[in-house]
Amino acid sequence: MTRGRWISLGVFLAGLAAGSLAPAPLEHVPPRVDGYWVLAIDFHVHGFPGDGALPSWLLRDEAARAGLDGFVLSNHNRVSTARAARRLAGNTPGPLVIVGEEVTARGFHLTAAGIEERVDWTRGATAAIEAIHAQGGVAIANHPSRGYTTGWTDEAVALLDGFERAHPAMRDPAIAGDFAAFGTRAFALKPGIGAIGSSDFHVGGHPGWCRTWVLARERSAAAVVAAVRDGRTIAVDVNGRLYGRSETIRIVTAAGATAPLPQTPDVWQRLAATAAWLGLLGLALL
């Protein structure tokens, strides 16, 4: 191995080691009301290896620090990273790791949550949703704004289990208007559809910047998926504003659930991730 490769390998390993030195997250106990656990879930998170910066164990720590009870690891058109992350998490304490995929096609993106096998993105939104349902998963329309809505026919929207109503991109007023318009259309076509808040975390920002309050019967991935299917969700944006059905908002409010405002990304974690990425890049180039 050349000197350059040894240096790159050292930088990569140093980045992984540094990321593990951040302070441990505090234990989080979600509120409970009317027979439901009120869980904070981020349904749209990307990880490494794939199209996200952080490996699953660091993602889990970041999710815990953000007060999340779980997240869907939804890399573009793959489930391998999510399945490995769930296996690595096992039954250890910490946020749930839910297997997912961001089905990525021209004209639409959607999260498939609670699946095991990759969903074909080439056959259109309706076929993708039907394939997700066949696996027992739920389908959530991702960032339904300009450039990501041309593939959403009324038939496909009526089959959805949820749609992103809160997303960091909504800080742009024009995009916020697109989300609101899609929400009006979605509720008209399927009144029981779930409102979802997601961070769409890749590198910048933070898991949980936008999140979803989920009314779950138990603290499990299956119960989270079932809650989305039944529309028992409330989307929370970066300012803590709630979106969803009024009765569900009432239950969440009665539970005293509050969402933290966007956090400043942990500098140590970001430096660690950057070092790991630079090390991998060096190994690839050399």
* 107 — pLDDT class (breaks 50, 70, 90): very high
In contact, 243 and 237? CB cutoff 8 Å = yes
List all residues 6 or more positions away from 59 whose beta carbon is below 8 Å from its beta carbon: 45, 47, 52, 71, 73, 85, 207
* 285 — pLDDT class (breaks 50, 70, 90): low
Q: Give the angle subtended at the CA of 212 by the CAs of 210 and 217, to the nearest 5°.
A: 160
* 20 — pLDDT class (breaks 50, 70, 90): low
Q: What percent of the chain has pLDDT over 90?
A: 74
pLDDT at residue 142, as a whole number? 98
Greater confidence, 28 or 250?
Answer: 250
* 216 — pLDDT class (breaks 50, 70, 90): very high
Q: pLDDT tens for residues 149-165?
A: 999 999 999 999 999 99
Q: pLDDT tens for residues 29-65?
A: 899 999 999 999 999 999 999 999 899 999 999 999 9
Write down the pTM of the prediction: 0.85
In contact, 194 and 250? CB cutoff 8 Å = no
DSSP code of 231? T
